[in-house]
Structure 1
Amino acid sequence: MADHELRTVVSGMSFTECPRWHEGRLWFVDFYTHVVCSVAEDGSDLRTEVEVPQQPSGLGWLPDGRLLYVSMRDRLVMRREPDGTSVVHADVSDHVTGHANDMVVDAEGRAWLGNFGFDLMGGADIETTGLLRIDPDGTVTAVADDLWFPNGSVVTPDGGTLIVDETLGNRISAFDIHPDGSLGERRDWATFGELSTSRALAEAIPQGKYAPDGCTLDADGCLWVADALGGRVCRVREGGEILETVSPGTGAFACMLGGSDGRTLFICCAPDFDEHARSAAREATIRAVTVDVPHAGLP
């Protein structure tokens, strides 16, 4: 790794997530202050871009530059128009069984969206769930099912493969993207352990060997993946081999390669992901470290 020294880019947040490098700035959401923000690479010029009362999550941009963002609790994907107003891009409430969550928007303007699948913060039993494709006109189509908390996702540079983290499945899955927008059969991109033998959350979590959350792709085809239960971000080769590890000394929940040369790894950090604790505190940060291989693909 080029530079092992972690530096703090943003501090004083509730729970940062969904980092994206876009047009020379780092964009991210802060769950419990209900905002989408952007900041310069060095941490200066922090801006509130959009307020999202029902809790923001995944971010992406249509080919014409309009921002898409997830409003989690009311299960909407919103679109920011050129005049700054926000409108509903897609209502997914009939298609999801938990909070709408992270997404990636591909070069065609198709948004690939996951959801919790169950009441995570309420401690409900785990239920598998599906993946949605939202076309540029807002049409919603179910494209995959039986996923264990589909979360951070990337699209490869050729636009032909969607890679999806399954946070509670000990695995990262991949799908071929067909020209018509349908997906091929799920296949293992990386596995870290077996699927849980229990759907009870308190029993399943200890069986997690690696809980892949947010991720980012590099030019060698490897993923940097945040481990939501392990307090680390690892560079993972297809198949599951861990090549490098960054441990920020706290929880790590998402990451993004960006910066002027694409070699800055931004990491969303917080003590834990407990909704009540994070809502009451301002302990979340975004930290950064320099790595050797630059960003590739989307986001």
Structure 2
Amino acid sequence: MPSVLLSDLAIPESPRWHEDRLWFANWGTGEIIAVSPTGEPEVMARTPGPLPYSFAWLPGGELRVISGPTASLLDASQNVVADLSHLSKGFNEIVIDARGNTYVNAVGFDMMAGEPPAPGIIALITPDGTARQVAADIAFGNGMAITPDGATLIVAESYANRLTAFTITQDGSLTNRRTWADVGDDHPDGICLDAEGAVWYADVGNRHCVRVAEGGKVLQTVEADQGCFACMLGGTTLFILTAAWTGAENILTAPRTGQILTTEAPAPHAGHP
């Protein structure tokens, strides 16, 4: 079993390895926290709403935060960089490539309000601030990652039980949609890439993280005692973000069961985020 690095969190989400620390969104609190490899946490930023939100950095180091409740992309001072409300709703995850192209996905419905599921999208915000849709019919998009060569974007489609890949074109558009891995009965949530080309994905309902190769071969599984929302590599340390899941209606009032777990992985982190 993995070791516990940090406890007493709400729902830890959207982890990133940055400046030798694990940064994550503490959903339910509006906090972005960084924790050292030895478990010392520090609140680094706050967001306008408690959830959902995700974050990444431009190539120059500027922080960008996707705010689901306001359907907007924010800077570190909570100024609006791009208004996305005309494109979709339920904005969820973000990844930024080496050219400064910012990709965000939206689930397409308001899960917190109990709306029925609807198809989601992936949107692109280019460095000049222009926002446009670049993919449609995403079945609850969750984690996204971009390969080290900047050529491929992979998104977890939780409601379709698969990881889906797109080729990134010169202007940032997404083409050549294909199934990167069918994951059977799993519902992939947060994902990250490793240096051997494999993807780690977290699964809330099945309480595990899985390392899978392109094509779907399972390479390794790490079990946990509560839902796994996301995962991230820092070197060869795999950080697993977990919490007890009792439904969207309880997300702001549930006990603080969130934890960050660690275990050793066979290959180090690669790509973005």
- Provide TM-score, normalisation by structure 2: 0.95
Deviations 1:38-87 (A, max 9, x none): 1111111x11111113235221101111111111111111112xxxx331
1:90 aligns with 2:82: yes
Match of residue 66 from structure 2: 70
Match of residue 53 from structure 1: 48
C-alpha deviation, 1:273, in angstroms? 5.9
Deviations 1:134-162 (A, max 9, x none): 11222101101011011101000000000
C-alpha deviation, 1:123, in angstroms? 3.7
Deviations 1:10-29 (A, max 9, x none): 21111110000001111000
* Equivalent-residue separation in structure 1 for 2:115 and 2:80 (angstroms): 29
- Which aligned pairs between 1:59-208 and structure 2 lie closer than 5 A? 59-80=55-76, 85-96=77-88, 98-193=89-184
Q: Indicate the SS of the match to 1:121.
A: helix
Asked whether the 8 Å contact 2:237–2:263 carries over to 1, the reply is: yes
Match of residue 269 from structure 1: 242
Provide runs of 4+ in structure 1 moved above 6 Å: none
Asked whether the 8 Å contact 1:35–1:56 carries over to 2, the reply is: no
Structure with more of its chain in strand, by fraction: 2
CA RMSD of the aligned region, Å? Answer: 1.4
Deviations 1:85-128 (A, max 9, x none): 331111111111x3210111111111111112112234432211
* Equivalent-residue separation in structure 1 for 2:116 and 2:135 (angstroms): 21
Asked whether the 8 Å contact 2:47–2:78 carries over to 1, the reply is: no
Instruction: Please identify, of 154-163 and 114-123, the stretch whose mean Cα deviation from structure 2 is larger.
Output: 114-123
Asked whether the 8 Å contact 1:30–1:56 carries over to 2, the reply is: no
May I ask how many residue pairs the two structures share in their alignment? 271
1:252 aligns with 2:228: yes
* Equivalent-residue separation in structure 1 for 2:138 and 2:130 (angstroms): 22
Instruction: Please identify, of 278-287 and 99-108, the stretch whose mean Cα deviation from structure 2 is larger.
Output: 278-287
Asked whether the 8 Å contact 1:8–1:286 carries over to 2, the reply is: yes
Flag structure 2 segments of 5+ consecutive residues without an equivalent: none
Match of residue 200 from structure 1: none
1:243 aligns with 2:234: no
Determine which of 215, 220, 226 is the counterpart of 2:191. 215
Match of residue 260 from structure 2: 286
* Equivalent-residue separation in structure 1 for 2:246 and 2:169 (angstroms): 35
Match of residue 228 from structure 1: 204
Match of residue 12 from structure 1: 8
* Equivalent-residue separation in structure 2 for 1:241 and 1:62 (angstroms): 33
Asked whether the 8 Å contact 2:204–2:226 carries over to 1, the reply is: no
1:36 aligns with 2:32: yes
